[in-house]
Copies of this chain bind each other. A is one copy, B any other.
Amino acid sequence: MFFSVDPSNGVAIYAQIVRQVKFAVAEKTLRPGQLLPSVRQLSQQLAVNPNTVTRALQELQSEGITETLRGRGVIVCQDAVDRCRRQRHSILADRLAAALTEALQAGLSADEVRTLVDQQLNSLDGQIESISELST
């Protein structure tokens, strides 16, 4: 359903997985107590090595977002939603801030940046809606 990974976007693959899981928990697409897709499923779906998925799950577990039930799978912790919500905002804001800073330093004015953002939001918004529809 919902995870995707871009090997060339500068963020480590395992970190992209970590972020998307947190986002899904914040969004309640993934609910406390719910089983994550298995390592094997995820690694196939993302076309990524199982160990890379495992690395992401280790990180999530060490942050107390997920919990392992031996032989059953990995579930979302009861108290993960709040933590994920708080992190979601700062993760997104940090990344946006980095991109915007770069644009301003590159000599664009704030207005030029706003225009660029609007263009992109319009085109992206359409794409993402259609992706969501596809997966329905």
Q: Give residues in A with beta carbon < 8 Å to B.
A: 2, 4, 6-7, 9-12, 19-20, 23, 26-27, 29, 49, 58-59, 62-63, 70-71, 88, 92-93, 95-108, 110, 113-114, 116-118, 120-122, 124-125, 128
Q: Assembly of this chain: how many copies?
A: 4
Contact A98 B10 (CB under 8 A): yes
Name which of A59, A107, A121 has the most chain B CB atoms within 10 A of its CB: A121
Instruction: State A108–B11 Cα separation when bound (angstroms).
Output: 20
The verdict on A124 contacting B106 (CB below 8 Å), with A9-B98, A95-B99, A99-B96 known, is no
Select one of B11, B106, B110 contacting A92, CB under 8 A. B106
Instruction: State A42–B9 Cα separation when bound (angstroms).
Output: 26
Select one of B11, B59, B96 contacting A117, CB under 8 A. B96
Instruction: State A2–B107 Cα separation when bound (angstroms).
Output: 11
